[in-house]
Structure 1
Amino acid sequence: MRILHVLSAEFFAGSVAYAVHLAEAHRAQGHSVWLLSDSDQLPTRATQIKAPISDRSYRQRLRNGRLIRQVVQRENIDVVHAHSRAASWVSYFALRGLPVALVSTVHGRQHLHTSTALFDVYGEKVITICANLHEHLVGEVKMVAARIEVIPNGVNFLPDAAASKQDLSEASHLRISFIGRFNGGKGERAAALLQHVFPVLLKEFPPLRLALVGGELEALPAAGKTALAQLQADFGARVEVVGFTTDVPAWLVRTSLVIGAGRVAIEALGAGRPVLALGEANYAGLVSEATFAAAAASNFGDISAVLAPSEVDFTTLLADARAFLQAPQPVTAALRQQVRAHYALQTVAARVLETYQAARMRKASPNFIPVLMYHKIPDATLATKHQIYVTKENFARHLAYFQKQKLTPITFADYLNFASGKLPLADFPRRPIILTFDDGYTDNYTNLLPLMQQFGYRGVLYLLGDAGICYNKWDADFDPAEPRSDIMDLAQKHAFVAAGWEIGAHTMSHPRLTTLPLPEAAAEIQRSKAELETALQTELVSFAYPYGDLNNAVKTAVRNAGFTFGVATDSGGMHLEDDRMQVFRVNMFPNESASSLFKKTSTWYRKYYRWKRGK
């Protein structure tokens, strides 16, 4: 993929580090990356182009927009990733009329002014770095939730072995380090610490040293500068004014307790250094296993979910710091691992790349793509209360209808090839449709496969991972009136792979996943993928929830198992890219008519379904 990052980079803030780390991670995967920003000296081997993105004058915005458009066209860019509202604004207008997707990462609360409401300049997909920002964008900015992905800052942590050696390196002094910028809201926090907290601690703990690490020290508020001068006069070399440094990890090694927010807090915790989370929005306290989730939701104090006064009780912060210095509490192995897993750059970069793909497909195919759900394709009508079949004769009529309407069947694997750029978006079908078939009944081999081949179509077949299940025991064993329907053998399943079909997983044994303990449900999901990939020698990218039964924990288990799509039944988003883990499927019944086929394959059907049934 060819990726252009657009960002304000007047100084090396967390948002700049975020863009640089993403650029390097994606370059390592073989993608081509450009950065267009205020600086062309950022620490990345991506191609850099200098432009004053931070200059918000309308004349300069127009110039920036023209430059972005030129770069996009000259370099054949696939997706533009903007990292501030100024960057989103110029990128949005630069891309007008071009088939190029825009993704914006929102690093902080957005100003609630008229232009925010009038101009939705954020693009096809929006990334927020924490849960509070998601709540802010939906509740206050009135953004559609389905466009937003919560993906945290990615940090390239040292390997575990190297990090463990860091833990063994005792700091030569008892030291508190304030790490962060000294301008804006963070500068105000630093000034308050210099006035009300650090003098007390330095006096009470004679061995204690104080390090001030970060850029824009000249922008520290006047009261802070006065307090700092007094501290230097009173405590001399114990007050270490470091200023900007590119080697923050070295200072983390020397530090007993870090005060900071955002990326600073993440890197410190990942390195095993305790953190008092103090940001522009609030004070989140000493981060522990118990408080990690709440602290992470605010990006460790930097971001509030709703507009509110950002008052901090520095008396409480002082008490917390004093208690820690009296009885230091090391970062537990569990907390450290939790942080390293949540913010791992490799994981974050993969999710961002998935978001790029989603944005491209929203741009290329903005309408609802029908995903139809079939099961049995028998020779004749079945005596069953479960209307999950379409006879061979009727199914042939369905295929003829699809052909007449110029609907083009694709698979989820095909879709991903278009999304990732392996296939050109210019070739994406004008009227795509995805035909899916659950359980793997024998009549799928005898009736379905020949019919699909006759029409030149391929579909997606969802199979159980347990090869020992040879009939529909989840129905027949619980209802004597339900006819037994045989499941295909391995050779028959292989025939679908040979015919170019996509194989998906449908658990090991067809349980209702939400009724199982989560570890058991996760095992059903993970094992089915592994068993089917081994048995059929094909990659699985999609999973079908039995009975359409799911919840957020089950969806997370599907993602964690390595699936790109989870397909539901009669639930899900308005667009396939609203939620890849809950793709809306349309139930197909025995007596579908021409009018019902027209309705169920129309781009407006999902909206109609939600209006009619409220889901």
Structure 2
Amino acid sequence: MNILMALSQLEVTGAEVYATQVGDRLTQRGHQVFYVSDTLNCPHKGQHFSLRFNKRSLPRRVWHVLYLIYLILRYKIQLVHAHSRASGWSSYIACKLTNTPMVTSVHGRQPVHRSRKKFHALGYHAVAVCENIAQQIIRDLGVPSEQVSVVRNGVDSQQFSPLPAANNDKPIIQIIGRLTGPKGELVYQLLKQCIDLDANQVQVISGSKVEPRFAEFENKVEFCGYSDNIRSTISQADLVIGAGRVAMEALLCQKPVFAVGEAKSVGLINLDNLPTALESNFGDIALEGKTELDIDYESVANQLKRAIVSASVSDELVTNIKAEYDLDEVCKKLLNVYQSAYVYTKKREIPIIMYHRVINDDSQHGVYGTYVTEERLEEHFQTIKAMGLTPITFKELAKIGLEHRFDHGKRYIILTFDDGYQDNYDLLLPLLKKYQFKAVIYAVSGTDHNQWDASHPTKPDQRFELMSPETMRDIDRSGFVEIGGHTLNHPKLAELSEPEQQHQIEQNKKDLESLLGRELTTFAYPYGNHSQQTKQLAKQAGYAYTVATDSGPIGLHQDLQQIRRIVMFPSTTKFGLWRKIRGNYTYRKAINKNN
């Protein structure tokens, strides 16, 4: 996808570090990432465009919106990820006007006033970096809970491996953070009231300009400026004081952290208070919006004295931090949000269409009408080609990567044929070769004909032959077909016992894999019939993609064990096909059904 990260800051912030690290990891995964912000000081791989979001007059905001629209159109942006209120407001308007998906990472508490409640401008989804922010957005701004989730700051844990304990004659305390705003006031009060500047060597690591009020500490405190290598900087520290990213990065280096932020003091981080630290982003975000005036600096001073003596970081604590903040896991969660934002904003998903038999003789109609004529199927193929869609298999989708199915310039479709009839070999395969299309055939392996229909007690169908093992092997080797599992003899799985379901799914998979000499990727529930237990059994059997019929979420990525398909009927014309596969059919049908 083409992704635009929108930020507003005049100095290095945690949001900037977060956005650039996530952006670089997304770039590694094959996405194209752009940035637009006032400044951008962190190293980054994508192109950066300068825009003065912090200039907020009405003419400026109009310019911001127009410039963002230009960027979206010029660089084919498919999703905007905002990281601040200033950039988010303008991005929201630009995305609305261009129908571009938008999500917002919320790094701090949001202001609460009437206009903000009515126009929160967070886009499709708000990603809060901690629980307290998520609760505040829901409670104070009235954002629906389903539009808010917690995705923590991502940290590349490989860059922050454990460091040995410092061996200093005089303890070194490092305070890391901005010297402006509430954080600047916090640093001032820590130096003024909480730290024994004679007994400890204090270093302040910050990219902010040192304000005149800090002059009284210049002979006792070392103001070291900005560091672009925190791991190297903190290697000499006995104790790190900070919040947000500072805390998590120091802990990953196994450096003791005294977490105190803009809202509260958590204290020396350990396994017992880690949950509280996570909820507040290590003290930066209080649940009820408390300010630094609520910090008991006398208590902080006493805690700091004890922390300097007893500070340590256990291996288990480091493991827990990695589990919460690992950059790859954070990116996976964000990509899941991105995909949902795209599907529900664009109202579009890859069409997956379902056929059964292909016939060229009226006598083969059968009772249930599960067929399409060879002539009609060729009309469908012509329409698919005219629409610029590329038919792929699930095996190819796995190779492309599910997250890349919406990449700019790509339009995919998946053609599926259930049961594995002989006519798929006789009539479908030649058409696939003619149009250079790919298809997925879901094969039954325990019978040689449509026994489930032919033996129906009240409405029997005529017999239609399935492919023989040899024919199935040949069609699989053609390079135009992927074979998937479809049980032994086509039962309604949810009506069977768990052992019976497991046998139907797993034995069918073993039969086909033994025949074809390769692992199967995908499975289809007969009749679309399944339960939660059935889904679990299919996943347990090793199927990455399991298709249903007219059920499942709109987004393919939302449940890979219940993927929606669009049914093709004998009467589906070229226009009917176009209407079903142009992208928004599944969305419209699901929404209408829910209403």
Q: Please say whether Structure 1 and Structure 2 have the same fold, judged by a TM-score greater than 0.5.
A: yes
Specify whether residues 322 and 539 from structure 1 end up closer, same or farther in structure 2 by C-alpha distance, changes over 3 A only.
farther
Alpha-carbon shift at residue 8 of structure 1 (Å): 0.8
Match of 1:187 in 2: 184
Contact 1:109 1:133 in 2 (8 A): yes
1:25 aligns with 2:25: yes
Contact 1:51 1:64 in 2 (8 A): yes
Superposed counterparts of 1:352-391, under 5 Å: 352-363=334-345, 365-366=346-347
Alpha-carbon shift at residue 14 of structure 1 (Å): 0.5
Q: Match of 2:89, SS?
A: helix
1:395 aligns with 2:370: yes
Contact 2:154 2:330 in 1 (8 A): yes
Match of 1:210 in 2: 202
Alpha-carbon shift at residue 41 of structure 1 (Å): 5.1
Give 1:180's aligned amino acid: G
Match of 1:320 in 2: 303
Q: Match of 1:3, SS?
A: strand
Match of 2:113 in 1: 113
1:245 aligns with 2:227: yes
Contact 1:130 1:152 in 2 (8 A): yes
1:89 aligns with 2:89: yes
Match of 1:331 in 2: 314
Alpha-carbon shift at residue 271 of structure 1 (Å): 0.9
CA distance in 2, matches of 1:106, 1:349: 16
CA distance in 1, matches of 2:138, 2:5: 25
Q: Deviations over 1:5-26 (max 9, x none)?
A: 2211201000111122233333
Superposed counterparts of 1:215-614, under 5 Å: 215-216=207-208, 218=210, 225=214, 229=216, 232=217, 236-237=219-220, 239-304=221-286, 306-310=287-291, 311-332=294-315, 334-363=316-345, 365-366=346-347, 393-396=368-371, 420=404, 428=411, 443-444=419-420, 492=472, 540=521, 548-549=531-532, 573=553, 575-576=554-555, 579-580=558-559, 603=587, 605-607=589-591
Contact 2:343 2:555 in 1 (8 A): no
Specify whether residues 289 and 30 from structure 1 end up closer, same or farther in structure 2 by C-alpha distance, changes over 3 A only.
same
Alpha-carbon shift at residue 449 of structure 1 (Å): 8.2
Match of 2:53 in 1: 53
Give 1:327's aligned amino acid: S
Q: Deviations over 1:535-588 (max 9, x none)?
A: 8657959999995438xxx99xx89x996x787999865x31784568575999
Alpha-carbon shift at residue 450 of structure 1 (Å): 7.8
Instruction: Give the paired residue count.
Output: 534
Give 1:213's aligned amino acid: I
CA distance in 2, matches of 1:99, 1:302: 34
Q: Match of 1:56, SS?
A: coil
Specify whether residues 103 and 250 from structure 1 end up closer, same or farther in structure 2 by C-alpha distance, changes over 3 A only.
same
Q: Deviations over 1:118-164 (max 9, x none)?
A: 3353334443323333333334333344444533222234458xx35
Q: Deviations over 1:452-483 (max 9, x none)?
A: 8699797767899xxxx989xxxxxxxxxxxx
Match of 1:129 in 2: 129
Q: Deviations over 1:178-198 (max 9, x none)?
A: 211122232333233234321
Q: Match of 1:167, SS?
A: coil
Q: Deviations over 1:404-453 (max 9, x none)?
A: 9x99998666597796267656x758xx898697xxxxx55668888986
Give 2:310's aligned amino acid: A
1:176 aligns with 2:173: yes
Q: Match of 1:103, SS?
A: strand
CA distance in 2, matches of 1:146, 1:532: 41
CA distance in 1, matches of 2:113, 2:306: 43
Q: Deviations over 1:169-211 (max 9, x none)?
A: 6456422222111222323332332343214xx56xx3x3222
Alpha-carbon shift at residue 241 of structure 1 (Å): 2.7
CA distance in 2, matches of 1:38, 1:293: 34
CA distance in 1, matches of 2:154, 2:69: 28
Specify whether residues 77 and 424 from structure 1 end up closer, same or farther in structure 2 by C-alpha distance, changes over 3 A only.
closer
Give 2:306's aligned amino acid: A
Contact 1:449 1:496 in 2 (8 A): no
Specify whether residues 318 and 532 from structure 1 end up closer, same or farther in structure 2 by C-alpha distance, changes over 3 A only.
farther
Contact 1:34 1:48 in 2 (8 A): yes
Contact 1:273 1:331 in 2 (8 A): no
CA distance in 2, matches of 1:218, 1:543: 65
- CA RMSD, Structure 1 to Structure 2 (Å): 5.7
Alpha-carbon shift at residue 272 of structure 1 (Å): 0.9
Question: Any gaps of 5 or more consecutive residues in structure 2?
Answer: 358-365, 448-465, 488-492, 499-504, 573-578
Give 1:275's aligned amino acid: V
Contact 1:107 1:128 in 2 (8 A): yes
Alpha-carbon shift at residue 263 of structure 1 (Å): 0.7
Contact 1:505 1:532 in 2 (8 A): no
Contact 1:358 1:577 in 2 (8 A): no
Q: Percent identity?
A: 25
Alpha-carbon shift at residue 51 of structure 1 (Å): 1.7
Contact 2:469 2:515 in 1 (8 A): no
CA distance in 1, matches of 2:517, 2:341: 32
Match of 1:481 in 2: none
Q: Match of 1:66, SS?
A: helix
Q: Match of 1:116, SS?
A: helix
Alpha-carbon shift at residue 371 of structure 1 (Å): 7.6
Specify whether residues 258 and 144 from structure 1 end up closer, same or farther in structure 2 by C-alpha distance, changes over 3 A only.
same
CA distance in 1, matches of 2:515, 2:104: 39
Q: Match of 2:127, SS?
A: strand
Specify whether residues 61 and 326 from structure 1 end up closer, same or farther in structure 2 by C-alpha distance, changes over 3 A only.
same
CA distance in 2, matches of 1:543, 1:53: 50
Contact 1:210 1:240 in 2 (8 A): yes
Specify whether residues 547 and 339 from structure 1 end up closer, same or farther in structure 2 by C-alpha distance, changes over 3 A only.
farther
Contact 2:263 2:283 in 1 (8 A): yes
Q: Match of 1:140, SS?
A: helix
Q: Match of 2:68, SS?
A: helix
Specify whether residues 254 and 91 from structure 1 end up closer, same or farther in structure 2 by C-alpha distance, changes over 3 A only.
same
Match of 2:80 in 1: 80
Match of 2:138 in 1: 138
Specify whether residues 256 and 397 from structure 1 end up closer, same or farther in structure 2 by C-alpha distance, changes over 3 A only.
same
Q: What TM-score do the two structures reach when normalised by structure 1?
A: 0.66
Q: What TM-score do the two structures reach when normalised by structure 2?
A: 0.68
Moved more, 538-547 or 32-41: 538-547
